[in-house]
Structure 1
Amino acid sequence: MASVLRSRGFDGVAMSLSGLCLLHCLALPVLAVGLPFLSVVAEAEWVHWLLVALAVPASALALLGSGGRRAGPLVLGATLGLSLLIAGAAGWPDHDSETVMTVAGGLVLAGVHALNWRRTRQVHARP
């Protein structure tokens, strides 16, 4: 039971990181127009790598800690989401697709962790 609670906590952290990632990619550039000092953070490459460095262990701890029969598809989904985040952070295949890749990766990861959070709640709510 304790590992499930930890897993749900990491799912919450991972979903929050996905939200921060989306905020960074979508809202920060708009805010930077009105507040020019935010443009430094909006375009900083280190922010992308910091979010990836936080997302990888949070995702691994949440998904692998929850166990269960259906963890395989969730791990595959998280692998896809993390791969998209890494591709976006690296500017691959080109710099123009960075935002699309990062947003797609963040949405996939948020969805995977929401499913995992719900699944662990349902599995352990049964009498």
Structure 2
Amino acid sequence: MTPSVAKALDLSAVGLSGLCLAHCLALPALALLLPALGAWAQAEWVHVAFVTLAAPVAALAFVDLRARRPRSWPLAWAATGGLMLMAAGALGFPSENLERPLTILGGLVLAGAHVANWRRRHRCGDCA
């Protein structure tokens, strides 16, 4: 994968995480002002869509397709943990009360892993 494609994947992943945070934090507040946004703020398909978009982007960003292994095991585990927290939140597991905190925490962990991945690539090129 070329460095520009890898950088674009990491930056788009951070952007998706930001969009997820905006959905979790800003839309419920805006729904109080504009009730029409309330239906979209609580739509379950949105949560599933974020996780569905995040998983392949993370896989492409953290895995060296030629070597068929992660470029950095710690970052790959952090990304996997973030995705698992996001998926748990999207599915309402273990309870509906933890949906928002799990999703926010997962998004932050995943975004942090992508930022660290981008910085690592910038520091040492396409190192293994």
TM-score of the pair, normalised by structure 1:
0.91
Tell me which amino acid in the other structure corresponds to 1:77: A
Matched, 1:4 2:3: yes
1:63 aligned partner: 62
Aligned length: 124
Q: Map 1:1-127 to 2 at 5 A.
A: 3-65=2-64, 71-124=72-125
Q: Distance in 2 between matches of 1:99 and 1:72?
A: 28
Larger mean Cα displacement after TM superposition, 66-75 or 50-59: 66-75
1:67-124 per-residue CA deviation (whole Å, 9 max, x = no partner) reads: 8986100000001000000000000010010000000000000100000001101112
Q: 1:84 touches 1:102 (CA, 8 Å); kept in 2?
A: yes
1:115/1:31 CA distance change after superposition, 3 Å: same
Q: Distance in 1 between matches of 2:125 and 2:94?
A: 42
- Using CA pairs below 8 Å that are at least 6 residues apart, which structure has the higher relative contact order? 1
Larger mean Cα displacement after TM superposition, 99-108 or 59-68: 59-68
Q: 1:31 touches 1:38 (CA, 8 Å); kept in 2?
A: yes
Q: 2:63 touches 2:71 (CA, 8 Å); kept in 1?
A: no
Tell me which amino acid in the other structure corresponds to 2:120: R
Stretches of structure 1 that go unaligned for 5 or more consecutive residues are: none
TM-superposed deviation, 1:5: 1.9
Q: Which has the higher helix share?
A: 1
Q: Distance in 2 between matches of 1:99 and 1:55?
A: 17
TM-superposed deviation, 1:32: 0.5
Stretches of structure 2 that go unaligned for 5 or more consecutive residues are: none
1:26-73 per-residue CA deviation (whole Å, 9 max, x = no partner) reads: 110000000111001100000000000100011111111498986100
TM-superposed deviation, 1:18: 0.6
1:106/1:37 CA distance change after superposition, 3 Å: same
State the SS of the aligned residue for 1:52: helix
Tell me which amino acid in the other structure corresponds to 1:105: G
Q: Distance in 1 between matches of 2:54 and 2:70?
A: 23
1:69/1:36 CA distance change after superposition, 3 Å: closer
Q: 1:7 touches 1:65 (CA, 8 Å); kept in 2?
A: no
Tell me which amino acid in the other structure corresponds to 1:57: P
Identity %: 48
Q: Distance in 1 between matches of 2:91 and 2:124?
A: 38
Larger mean Cα displacement after TM superposition, 56-65 or 101-110: 56-65
